[in-house]
Chain A
Amino acid sequence: MTRPSQDSPALDVSGVSLRLEGKEILRDVSFAVGRGEYLSIVGPNGAGKTSLLRCIDRLLAGATGRIEVFGRPLESYRRKELAKRLSYVPQADGRVFPFTVRQFVLMGRYPYLSPFTSVDRDGRQAVDEAMELTGTGQFAGRRLDTLSGGERQRVYIAAALAQAAEILLLDEPTTFLDYRHQAEIRDVLARVKRASGLTIVCVTHDLNRAALDSDRIVALCSGRVVFSGPPHQIMRTDALERIYQTQFLLVAHPHARLPVIVPEAPREGPP
């Protein structure tokens, strides 16, 4: 807090623990994310990845420890101020109110609105840009509940981008998408990161993508940080096997100077 906020990292998580209904969800989690950095959070199911994201966006109360956003404690932000710093793309939710895509993306501008006003020209421009970037402009008039999973995911990202926050939190943005849509989401993230220096924190199960795309990886296991470092250090069989308790087969990527995981072939031939 005494530090000038210019030098402080975008996000500084230190000693965060969380218990919910007597169950330990997070334990002494610490890491920092620099400005403009792309951090992936990986780990087995139930490791606390989603809970951690929700703590960072103050959607989940009761965590102990300290979280700072641009050098300021998380609790010191008013909700609207926080929304100008952090935006959040949750896991796909099946229950959607029948808003149109454009109405939904426009709602990303809420932190800049006051009662009885509509989104101004700058805001509409931000919305248009976000929709163009995510390729959602083509179905702007369609209802949210008529979209496919991939389309809806891109709309959620568009709304988060329209919010124009400096940090983007994503919870498994590509889990339900086919290859083409995964590639599209990846391109979108790379583009906004380049264009606006966006800081990205992404929870994912796709280790290959995490390794290839992100600057740094944090691995959680049973609520603890078990790895934190650059991608090439986690893409090793011993490191991965320790985290996931299963075997991995790694091969060199033909273009990137990184090993990637390939699926194991069946041990015997077909009967």
Chain B
Amino acid sequence: MNKAMVVLLLLALALSVAAAAPFVPLGTLRESSDETAAKIFWNMRVPRVLMAIVAGAGLAVSGMALQAVFRNPLATPFTLGVASGASLGACVYIHLGLALRPLWIPGESWSAFAGAVLSIVLVYGLTRTRRGFSTATLLLAGVAINFFFSSLILLMQYLSDFTDTYRILRWMMGGLERGVAYRDLVTVLPLVAGGTAIVVYLTHELNLIATGDELAASRGVEVNRAKGVLFFAVSLVVGAIVAVCGPIGFVGLMAPHICRLLVGPDHRYLTPATLLFGAAFLTACDTLARTVMFPVELPVGIITSLLGGPFFLWLLLRRSAAWE
């Protein structure tokens, strides 16, 4: 089976990237004692790589699900304003200085989740008011929501004191370098895994919804219910990731597209391929971010956006070829 081979190859790629990433450039630390190196390796590098895997996979699968539900190649957590909704949620929480942990999950994650739900409902509502929404409507709605939430975030920064402002700004760049600990992983992993499980459970429904709402309904899909559940899953995943890593852009755009070229649009193969590719991609980008200006560590969001921006433009320009 050709597609199964591709998925296996991606698995190998993800594993090798993940295995190699924590070592680069650990060698330069060798002049200090091995004990320090071991500490850096186990307490900083390994959790960071694990987080890159989880976040990359989660963002990629969110983008994939949104592209199918909106039937649009440019739908991603970033372009639809879902990420900025989640950011706003997290900012509000940081600004309020609360320290709640309902169900052992930090309040930031919950408020980011709420922000993600809010923006996804808003953007879906906006695109539904015009029948048969177009790419233009979708992108404009996303842009409008992005602007609106960004200005609310700016307002909050303006009202915050200097250190808070810096923290918010730094966090908005998106990154994995602010000392990701195992504790963060424990809060992110279950939410990302849960959301992904929902997406996998709805594989057939995703395929059918991608062919159009009416066709899906006439084939027996409870379209509105499936969409609602998918939006919930995507919000869960994006909210959890954004709360810890900030908004990391374009993983959700590039990974599903490249995988669609590799294994086709059938979500039975596309979902595992996208998960693996997203994980490998973000891990590789983070390794690059950590080493390209060593010892300065760049936020990984800068790298993904530098790669993703041109890719997005390329898609936009050739979109006449794709599902229009």
Contact = CB atoms under 8 A, between A and B. Distances in A.
A, B: real partners: yes
Contact of A96 (B68, B204, B214, B323): B323
A104 interface: yes
A95 B324 contact: yes
Interface stretch (B219-227, B235-243, B277-285, B308-316): B219-227
Contacts, number: 83
Interface string A42-60: 0000000000001001110
B36 interface: no
A231 interface: no
Given A59-B217, A96-B323, A107 B211 contact: yes
Interface in A91-110: 93-100, 103-104, 107-108, 110
A97 B211 contact: yes
Interface string B59-86: 0000000001001000000000000000
Given A83-B218, A111-B219, A115-B204, A93 B212 contact: yes
Contacts of A107: 204, 207-208, 211, 219
B201 interface: yes
A189 B214 CA distance: 22
Contacts of A98: 260, 264-265, 322-323
How many chain A residues sit at the interface, stated as a range, is 20 to 34
A80 B202 CA distance: 15
Contacts of A82: 220
Interface in B96-153: none
Interface residues of B, number: 27
A63 to B, nearest CB: 15
Contacts of B203: 115-116
B214 A59 contact: yes
A113 interface: yes
18 contacts: A54-B214, A58-B217, A79-B220, A80-B220, A87-B219, A94-B324, A95-B71, A97-B211, A98-B264, A99-B211, A99-B265, A103-B266, A110-B208, A110-B219, A110-B220, A111-B219, A116-B201, A118-B268
